């Protein structure tokens, strides 16, 4: 990776880059507008010339610093870590900084998205430049005032000092600084001089969270706002025929019962496409009420008739088609090295295993909801969405508004996990608001979220290895999934480049069940399949599982293959760190260990799970994790992400079951759908590889290896290999349980 090669940025280059990227992230400084201590986005943001305005930073004459965090906050911590990066280069004291959530603003920001663990990775340089540019202009203003050269000045905590020991605060020079030309070049700090990055900073919303202040979309209220619930087809493949709202209209508080769907069909007919749009063409029944409870009760009272348009699918059907893809079809080849067929023909032994995972709902704790107010002149949208730009874009097209007539405010989100990448609930509430011409909030129940979701699709892998002379000489992985397949460079992840004869192919089945990204898409299950497969190969080859991985990684860095993004060295680093910290092979009697390592979302992770067996059941005691995400911006936040990712990975691998029958999900709420709870959680110990490499994301990478590490530990303890999730079901099948 080319890192910190160039620490000086020419202004011309910078502007060029900015303008080209999705409408442009423009830099400038809004120092003329005094900023109140309570942070608020300026309403005229769109009218400000970029030369006068810095969308990221505001400094008042009193010296108050407000940093706008541009990306959506779903619990991944960017509302804290992104402003930390700006504050570092701006050289202000972190405790004096107010952080506010920026609104959607495609003119001044780029990539306002929460997804793919990319916020920090893609913004690292941009955020540093923004802070450094502001600092340099403030220093220049002070230099002009004192009539000295800027190079003689020093800055710390927002105070500029000259050689005579005179001081000026940022607030003292902010007016003058704003009149200066934006500098051609800015110098970024040396990493060794960092005072904010690398130090623990608690969640910026922490106090508001623990005192129950309004923060989330569900908490948002506006004058005259009504509440809406939406009755959608109960089965995938069905559409509305008719409904009787007599009983619903009698519910106290119900204002009206309407239908939506027309605008969705118009949008589809227009040929417009947007990946975040995946609504069915069916009409939906909407209950408009004065309060949430009336809206929920009213919806239950609707009597609707549905007709079946396309085949109603079931889990049995999906099993059948996925097995068919694995066994009977030719897949699309994603990567092929050497001669796989020959390697298998010449093998001493061939190992072949098949792995299965169910559909999964996201189950964000905050159910889907969104606020909309659409008048003839403009659109106001407020709520939790991971992709605000795509949402505003679709709403503009659906209802004929230019983007500058759409004001979208992002709220803190009660979880994302990929669910809120899709804007279905935004488009629904927009159609409702447009129809009733009133401010309205759409509210979903848990049952709505779980039964009309956008699921992680059920997926199967068939993996085969050709063993010869104690080595893995051939590897063949086939993926069968629903509505899509592994994306990006996943086919080039480990063990690509490590095994001379290697092939990855995929096939998929088009289903009418809506599917989409779920935390660490594909790799959330692929890592389990692959990492348990390698554990099995290690047993077969009578090699230590960690040593097998290290042997395979031996030559990876010497290969010139640009498609391979993972680093052999960094993978080895995390493996060796976890081997040491996790006391691999050196634990007390009765503790069994399992190992897994995985690279995803540009971050390398290795994990060791320690389990014991109580009453014949596996009890996971501890998971040791080693992570290489480059520079750790905020250690407390980073650890929290990894701890949570590991437990989330274990929880879903162990317990999460889901199925469909006659097009309907059979799990509807947490009484039957099992999420991991505190008394089932191990302690997670997180260690970071220390280096000076550019930071990468952490929202997802901790999750993929967790299931594999636990499954391998279960095998170490019980001698039972797990091939499907949830493990609890697989263990039952193997009559270990109950």
User: Does residue number 341 form part of the binding site for other proteins (CB under 8 A)?
Assistant: no
Choice between 205 and 266, CB closer to other proteins:
205
Using DSSP's 3-state secondary structure scheme, residue 408 falls into strand
- Indicate the pairing of strand 97-101 with strand 65-69: parallel
CA separation, residue 197 to residues 201, 312, 357, 568 (Å):
9, 53, 39, 27
Choice between 250 and 378, CB closer to other proteins:
250
Which two three-digit tokens encode residue 626? 């080693």
Using DSSP's 3-state secondary structure scheme, residue 680 falls into helix
- Separation CA 478–CA 503 (nearest Å): 8
- Give, as ranges, the residues between 69 and 128 that touch other proteins (CB under 8 A): 74-77
Choice between 216 and 306, CB closer to other proteins:
216
Burial string for 257-286 (b: 16+ CB within 10 Å, else e) reads bbbbbebbeebeeeeeebebbebbebbbbb
Choice between 366 and 431, CB closer to other proteins:
366
User: Does residue number 412 form part of the binding site for other proteins (CB under 8 A)?
Assistant: yes
Choice between 413 and 529, CB closer to other proteins:
413
User: Does residue number 336 form part of the binding site for other proteins (CB under 8 A)?
Assistant: no
- Separation CA 647–CA 186 (nearest Å): 42
- Give, as ranges, the residues between 157 and 186 that touch other proteins (CB under 8 A): none
- Indicate the pairing of strand 501-509 with strand 592-600: unpaired
Q: Which stretch binds other proteins (CB under 8 A): 29-37, 171-179, 524-532, 643-651?
A: 643-651
Residues 6+ apart with CB under 8 A from 341: none
The DSSP bridge partners found for residue 287 are 229, 257
Choice between 640 and 691, CB closer to other proteins:
640
Using DSSP's 3-state secondary structure scheme, residue 620 falls into strand
User: Does residue number 226 form part of the binding site for other proteins (CB under 8 A)?
Assistant: no
Residues 6+ apart with CB under 8 A from 597: 494, 531, 549, 571, 574, 575, 578, 604, 605, 606, 607, 705
- Separation CA 642–CA 125 (nearest Å): 23
Choice between 27 and 686, CB closer to other proteins:
686
Residues 643, 653, 723, 728: which binds other proteins (CB under 8 A)? 643
Contact at 8 Å (CB) between 355 and 461? yes
User: Does residue number 222 form part of the binding site for other proteins (CB under 8 A)?
Assistant: no
Q: Which stretch binds other proteins (CB under 8 A): 237-245, 444-452, 540-548, 601-609?
A: 444-452
User: Does residue number 647 form part of the binding site for other proteins (CB under 8 A)?
Assistant: yes
Q: Which stretch binds other proteins (CB under 8 A): 150-158, 502-510, 673-681, 689-697?
A: 673-681
Please work out, in degrees rounded to the nearest 5, the angle formed at the alpha carbon of residue 230 by the alpha carbons of 226 and 233.
170
Q: Which stretch binds other proteins (CB under 8 A): 26-34, 94-102, 216-224, 589-597?
A: 216-224
User: Does residue number 206 form part of the binding site for other proteins (CB under 8 A)?
Assistant: yes
Closest approach of Cβ 252 to other proteins, in Å?
5
Q: Which stretch binds other proteins (CB under 8 A): 358-366, 549-557, 604-612, 716-724?
A: 358-366
Residues 187, 669, 692, 734: which binds other proteins (CB under 8 A)? 669
Closest approach of Cβ 574 to other proteins, in Å?
20
User: Does residue number 541 form part of the binding site for other proteins (CB under 8 A)?
Assistant: no
Contact at 8 Å (CB) between 600 and 662? no
- Separation CA 277–CA 322 (nearest Å): 26
Which two three-digit tokens encode residue 146? 């004192």
User: Does residue number 291 form part of the binding site for other proteins (CB under 8 A)?
Assistant: yes
Choice between 341 and 675, CB closer to other proteins:
675
- Separation CA 63–CA 158 (nearest Å): 8
User: Does residue number 252 form part of the binding site for other proteins (CB under 8 A)?
Assistant: yes
Residues 366, 573, 607, 610: which binds other proteins (CB under 8 A)? 366
User: Does residue number 428 form part of the binding site for other proteins (CB under 8 A)?
Assistant: no
- Separation CA 396–CA 385 (nearest Å): 16
Q: Which H or E run includes 373?
A: strand 369-374
User: Does residue number 445 form part of the binding site for other proteins (CB under 8 A)?
Assistant: yes
Residues 69, 112, 276, 363: which binds other proteins (CB under 8 A)? 363
User: Helices (DSSP H) in 109-261: which residue ranges?
Assistant: 119-146, 170-178, 206-210, 246-250
Closest approach of Cβ 668 to other proteins, in Å?
9
Q: Which stretch binds other proteins (CB under 8 A): 51-59, 276-284, 406-414, 458-466?
A: 406-414
Using DSSP's 3-state secondary structure scheme, residue 239 falls into strand
Q: Which stretch binds other proteins (CB under 8 A): 195-203, 468-476, 535-543, 713-721?
A: 195-203
Total chain residues near other proteins (CB under 8 A): 67
User: Does residue number 205 form part of the binding site for other proteins (CB under 8 A)?
Assistant: yes
User: Does residue number 32 form part of the binding site for other proteins (CB under 8 A)?
Assistant: no
Helices (H) and strands (E) in the chain, counts: 19, 28
CA separation, residue 407 to residues 26, 214, 381 (Å):
19, 20, 6
User: Does residue number 666 form part of the binding site for other proteins (CB under 8 A)?
Assistant: no
Provide the CA 602 distance to its chain's centre, in angstroms. Answer: 13
Choice between 11 and 622, CB closer to other proteins:
622
Using DSSP's 3-state secondary structure scheme, residue 111 falls into coil
Q: Which H or E run includes 646?
A: helix 635-655
- Which chain residues interact with other proteins by CB under 8 A? 74-77, 200, 202-203, 205-207, 209-216, 218-219, 221, 227, 252-253, 291-294, 296-297, 363-367, 412-417, 445-447, 636-637, 640-641, 643-648, 651, 669-671, 675-681, 683-684
């Amino acid at each position: 990776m080319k890192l910190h090669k160039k620490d000086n940025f020419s202004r011309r280059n910078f502007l060029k880059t900015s303008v080209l990227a999705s409408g442009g992230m423009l830099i400038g400084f809004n120092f003329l507008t005094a900023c109140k201590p309570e942070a608020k986005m300026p309403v005229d943001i769109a009218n400000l010339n970029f030369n006068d305005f810095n969308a990221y930073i505001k400094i008042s004459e009193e010296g108050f610093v407000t940093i706008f965090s541009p990306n959506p906050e779903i619990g991944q911590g960017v509302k804290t870590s992104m402003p930390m990066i700006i504050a570092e280069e701006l050289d202000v004291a972190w405790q004096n900084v107010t952080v506010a959530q920026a609104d959607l603003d495609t003119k001044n920001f780029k990539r306002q998205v929460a997804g793919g663990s990319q916020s920090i990775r893609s913004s690292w340089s941009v955020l540093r430049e923004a802070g450094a540019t502001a600092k340099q202009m403030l220093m220049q203003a002070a230099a002009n005032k004192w009539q000295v050269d800027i190079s003689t000045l020093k800055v710390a905590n927002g105070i500029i000092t000259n050689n005579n020991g005179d001081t000026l605060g940022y607030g003292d020079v902010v007016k003058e600084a704003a009149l200066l030309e934006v500098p051609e070049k800015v110098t970024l700090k040396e990493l060794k001089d960092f005072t904010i990055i690398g130090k623990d900073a608690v969640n910026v919303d922490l106090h508001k969270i623990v005192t129950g202040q309004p923060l989330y979309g569900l908490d948002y209220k506006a004058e005259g706002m009504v509440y809406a619930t939406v009755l959608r087809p109960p089965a995938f493949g069905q559409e509305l025929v008719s409904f009787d709202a007599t009983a619903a209209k009698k519910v106290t508080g119900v204002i009206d019962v309407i239908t939506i769907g027309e605008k969705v069909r118009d949008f589809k007919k227009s040929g417009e496409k947007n990946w975040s749009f995946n609504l069915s063409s069916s009409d939906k029944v909407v209950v408009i009420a004065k309060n949430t409870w009336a809206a929920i009760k009213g919806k239950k009272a609707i009597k609707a008739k549905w007709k079946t348009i396309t085949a109603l699918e079931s889990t049995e059907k999906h099993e059948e088609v996925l097995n068919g893809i694995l066994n009977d079809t030719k897949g699309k080849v994603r990567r092929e090295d050497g001669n796989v067929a020959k390697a298998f023909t010449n093998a001493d032994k061939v190992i072949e295993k098949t792995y299965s995972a169910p559909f999964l709902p996201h189950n964000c704790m905050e159910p889907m909801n969104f606020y909309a107010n659409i008048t003839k002149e403009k659109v106001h949208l407020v709520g939790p969405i991971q992709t605000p730009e795509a949402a505003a874009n679709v709403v503009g097209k659906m209802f004929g508004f230019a983007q500058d007539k759409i004001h979208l405010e992002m709220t803190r989100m009660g979880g994302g996990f990929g669910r809120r990448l899709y804007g279905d609930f935004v488009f629904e509430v927009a159609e409702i608001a447009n129809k009733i011409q009133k401010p309205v909030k759409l509210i979903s129940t848990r049952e709505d979220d779980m039964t009309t979701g956008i699921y992680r699709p059920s997926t199967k892998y068939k993996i085969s290895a050709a063993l010869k002379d104690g080595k893995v000489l051939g590897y063949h992985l086939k993926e069968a999934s629903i509505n899509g397949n592994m994306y990006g460079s996943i086919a080039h992840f480990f063990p690509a480049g490590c095994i001379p004869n290697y092939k990855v192919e995929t096939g998929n089945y088009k289903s009418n069940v809506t599917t989409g990204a779920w935390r660490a898409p594909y790799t959330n299950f692929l890592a389990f399949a692959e990492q348990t497969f390698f554990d099995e190969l290690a047993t077969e080859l009578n090699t230590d599982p960690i040593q097998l991985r290290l042997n395979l990684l031996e030559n990876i860095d010497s290969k010139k293959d640009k498609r391979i993004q993972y680093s052999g060295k960094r993978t080895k680093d995390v493996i060796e760190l976890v081997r040491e910290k996790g006391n691999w092979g050196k634990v007390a009697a009765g503790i069994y260990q399992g190992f897994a390592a995985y690279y995803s979302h540009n971050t390398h992770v290795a994990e060791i799970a320690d389990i014991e067996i109580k009453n014949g059941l596996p009890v996971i005691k501890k998971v040791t994790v080693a992570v290489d995400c480059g520079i750790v911006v905020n250690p407390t936040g980073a650890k929290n992400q990894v701890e949570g990712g590991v437990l989330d990975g274990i929880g879903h691998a162990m317990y999460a079951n889901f199925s469909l029958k006659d097009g309907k999900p059979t799990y509807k709420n947490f009484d039957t759908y099992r999420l991991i709870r505190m008394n089932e959680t191990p302690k997670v110990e997180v260690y970071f590889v220390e280096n000076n490499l550019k930071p990468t994301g952490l929202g997802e990478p901790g999750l993929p290896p967790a299931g594999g590490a636990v499954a391998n530990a279960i095998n170490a303890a019980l001698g039972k290999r797990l091939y499907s999730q949830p493990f609890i079901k697989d263990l039952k099948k193997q009559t270990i349980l109950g």
